[in-house]
Each structure stands twice: as structure tokens, then as C-alpha cells.
Amino acid sequence: MEPALSQSQIDRLIEAAREARRHAYAPYSRFEVGAAVLGGNDEIYIGCNVENASFGLTICAERVAVANAIAHGCRDFRALAMVAEVDNGPPAPCGACRQVLAEFSPALTIICVSHGGPPRLLLLDDLLPNRFSLNYQR
């Protein structure tokens, strides 16, 4: 897949996600994740996962990055990078994050990064086909 992004944009997103990961609050799982979303305005918005003792209140890095972008007036996203240091390959966003991302940018490019390997580029449309939407045709 050829992204509609330059290598420089990809590198900037990955670095921003790595930096965000350093602020993750994951005392229970120790699974620290950083995310960075590139807005249609070419600004980068970051997020990290924030766990809670009541696990259902935990919020993923990807959704924090989206909320950060929205809080700054951006609702159009071009790409998202997520970084988590795991041994079995770069992780992809969870189902809840996929649905939230699809609300705004169903054709989003997702860049998944872990240590010891190259980034994996995915399309949200491929990760979440037949997503839930209120835009049904009757």
C-alpha cells in the first residue's frame, strides 16, 4: 500500500507517538502506548493510554489523540501512528478505537510501530469493514 503521506510525515508521526508513549499511565498492564494523529490541517495531535483501577474506564492512546484533535477544532484526519513496545510485531488499534477513528476518517492510514521491526501501514477501511454508521442508505 502506498500512503498519501511523505516519508517525512510518517517519521514525524512516529516520533510524536514515541514521545507521547513516554507519558502513558499503565500501572496495571504495563502496556504503554503512544499515538499521534495527523489532521487535515497538517497539525499533529498526540495521546497516550490512561489506565484506571476500574478497567472499563481505561482509555486508549488513539482515542486520547482523537479527543485532543477535536478539542483543538480538528475533525479531519489523514493518518495515525501508534507505538507500543511489544515483541510479537506492531499491534493494531482495538475495535473501540477503530470505530471512533471511522467516525471521522474511514479511509485513514494507520502506522503501527514496535521495536525490532519496520512500521506496518494499514488502512482503517481494511481493519473495520462494514463499520457501524448512521449514514445508512434505505
Just list the catalytic residues: 62
Q: What gap in Å lies between CA 99 and CA 125, rounded to an integer?
A: 11
Q: What gap in Å lies between CA 82 and CA 73, rounded to an integer?
A: 21
Could you write out the DSSP letters of every residue in 63-121? HHHHHHHHHTT---EEEEEEEE--SSSPPPPPHHHHHHHHHH-TT-EEEEE-TTS--EE
**Contact by Cβ (8 Å): 82, 111:** yes
Cβ neighbours, 10 Å, residue 15: 15
For CA atoms 11, 95, 107, 122, give the dihedral sign. positive
